[in-house]
């Protein structure tokens, strides 16, 4: 525990006092999302809520790790505000999806502001952790702002907070949800859509996923029938590596953050130290196979001799 506490730069009590209320609010928002997901009929919004919940769970785990370093008890519930948010979300969902998204945007705006304040207050290891949490919240906030502004009955006043024009987030007047980037970005290739199961991949994700195929598989993909080609692209687009890439690169740029681009393997090769392999100075002695031959029946001896006779095995093989 002493080694773990050395990671903290500031006062453990101050860190716990800063982090614990944020975990409660994040857990309360997760409860509200889970309550609304089961009643949502649009498969695109179901995916949007699922990905938002996954990101919020990552925030809770990261902040609870900080809390564990302070020797304080982990926060496991949203407190009194969680049932309030649940009921409010369900009531707004019955009214309209836009009203529910606006309420979610307000909660996410509060979280992003408090995360920004906490990241500026903390130092060292704690600040790095809270910066990551803040960036996740800013990406969620960006998605909610864009979807509310895109909907016909939504309020587009917050669209001015987006770093790019709304046309960079949606290719048409409809509010579609791509199951990779959670938006509907324009691109050169057409969007891909299936009915069973309901799946939608926007044009920009179609372009990006195609470029992710290796050259040899890309040639096979170009020769494949249209239906099979689209199925393979959709399958790759919905894979966890591609969805993680969309979060770290696409969402970061659309939220005004620096993208997290992985380094090529060739550049990492020089960073790894050369493996030191110790070769024995003396040759390895041959193995000694000892087979019991006393008190063994003749049939067992014959079988053992045949089993270890490499010449007969090689001949019959």
If you average pLDDT over residues 288-308, what whole number do you get? 78
Quote the radius of gyration of the chain (alpha carbons, Å).
29
Please answer whether residues 19 and 129 qualify as being in contact, where contact means their C-beta atoms are separated by less than 8 angstroms.
Answer: no
Please answer whether residues 171 and 159 qualify as being in contact, where contact means their C-beta atoms are separated by less than 8 angstroms.
Answer: no
3-state secondary structure the chain: CHHHHCCCCCCHHHHHHHHHHHHHHHHHHHHHHHHHHCCCCCHHHHHHHHHHHHHHHHHHHHHHHHHHHCCCCCCCCCCCHHHHHHHHHHHHHHHCHHHHHHHHHHHHHHHHHHHHHHHHHCCHHHHHHHHHHHHHHHHHHHHHHHHHHHCCCCCCHHHHHCCCCHHHCECCCCCCCCCCCCCECCCCCCCEEECCCCEEECHHHHHHHHHHCCHHHHHHHHHCCHHHHHHHHHHHHCCHHHHHHHHHHHHHHHCCCCCCCCCCHHHHHCCCCCCCCCCCCCCCCCCCCCCCCCCCCHHHHHHHHHHCCHHHHHHHC
53-57, 226-230, 233-237, 268-272: the lowest-pLDDT one: 268-272
What pLDDT is recorded for position 60?
95
If you average pLDDT over residues 249-258, what whole number do you get? 95
If you average pLDDT over residues 167-188, what whole number do you get? 94
What pLDDT is recorded for position 266?
63
Which is nearest to 114 in space by CA: 35, 13, 9, 28?
Answer: 28
If you average pLDDT over residues 78-103, what whole number do you get? 89
Whether the per-residue pLDDT at 269 is higher than 70: the answer is no
Domains of the chain: 2-160 (1.20.1260.10), 168-261 (no CATH)
Name the band, by pLDDT with cuts 50, 70 and 90, for residue 298.
Answer: confident
What pLDDT is recorded for position 281?
67
Whether the per-residue pLDDT at 157 is higher than 90: the answer is no
Whether the per-residue pLDDT at 110 is higher than 80: the answer is yes
What pLDDT is recorded for position 11?
87
| Mean pLDDT taken over the chain | 88
What pLDDT is recorded for position 6?
59
Whether the per-residue pLDDT at 122 is higher than 60: the answer is yes
Name the band, by pLDDT with cuts 50, 70 and 90, for residue 275.
Answer: low
If you average pLDDT over residues 105-131, what whole number do you get? 93
What pLDDT is recorded for position 28?
94
Please answer whether residues 134 and 18 qualify as being in contact, where contact means their C-beta atoms are separated by less than 8 angstroms.
Answer: no
* Cβ contacts of 27 within 8 Å, gap of 6 or more: 60, 75, 76, 77, 78, 79, 82
Whether the per-residue pLDDT at 183 is higher than 70: the answer is yes
- State if pTM tops 0.75: yes
What pLDDT is recorded for position 278?
66
Whether the per-residue pLDDT at 2 is higher than 70: the answer is no
Whether the per-residue pLDDT at 284 is higher than 90: the answer is no
48-52, 53-57, 178-182, 301-305: the lowest-pLDDT one: 301-305
Q: How far apart are CA 263 and CA 240, in angstroms?
A: 18
Whether the per-residue pLDDT at 263 is higher than 60: the answer is yes
Of the two residues 93 and 293, the one the predictor is more confident about is 93
Whether the per-residue pLDDT at 175 is higher than 60: the answer is yes
Whether the per-residue pLDDT at 267 is higher than 70: the answer is no
What pLDDT is recorded for position 1?
43
Whether the per-residue pLDDT at 5 is higher than 60: the answer is no
What pLDDT is recorded for position 309?
76
If you average pLDDT over residues 140-169, what whole number do you get? 91
């Amino acid at each position: 525990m002493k080694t773990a506490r050395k990671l903290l730069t500031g006062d453990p009590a101050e860190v716990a006092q800063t982090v614990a209320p944020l975990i409660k609010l994040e857990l309360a928002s997760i409860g509200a999302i889970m309550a609304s997901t089961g009643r949502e009929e649009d498969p695109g919004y179901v995916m949007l809520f699922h990905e938002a919940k996954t990101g919020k769970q990552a925030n809770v785990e990261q902040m609870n790790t900080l809390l564990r370093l302070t020797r304080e008890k982990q926060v496991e519930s949203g407190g009194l505000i969680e049932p309030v948010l649940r009921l409010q979300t369900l009531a707004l969902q019955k009214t309209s999806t836009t009203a529910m998204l606006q309420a979610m945007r307000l909660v996410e705006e509060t979280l992003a502001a408090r995360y920004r304040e906490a990241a500026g207050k903390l130092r060292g290891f704690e600040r790095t952790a809270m910066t990551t949490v803040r960036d996740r919240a800013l990406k969620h906030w960006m998605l909610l702002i864009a979807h509310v502004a895109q909907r016909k009955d939504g309020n587009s006043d917050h669209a001015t907070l987006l770093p790019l024009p709304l046309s960079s987030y949606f290719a048409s007047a409809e509010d579609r949800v791509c199951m990779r980037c959670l938006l509907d970005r324009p691109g050169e290739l057409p969007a891909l859509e299936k009915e069973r199961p309901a799946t939608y991949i926007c044009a920009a994700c179609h372009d990006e996923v195609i470029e992710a195929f290796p050259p040899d598989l890309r040639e096979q993909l170009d020769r494949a029938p249209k239906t099979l080609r689209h199925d393979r692209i959709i399958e790759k687009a919905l894979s966890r590596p591609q969805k993680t890439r969309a979060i770290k690169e696409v969402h970061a740029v659309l939220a005004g953050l620096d993208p997290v681009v992985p380094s090529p393997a060739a550049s990492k090769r020089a960073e790894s130290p050369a493996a030191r392999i110790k070769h024995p100075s003396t040759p390895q002695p041959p193995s000694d196979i000892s087979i019991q031959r006393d008190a063994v029946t003749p049939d067992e001896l014959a079988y053992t001799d045949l089993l270890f006779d490499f010449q007969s095995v090689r001949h019959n093989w």
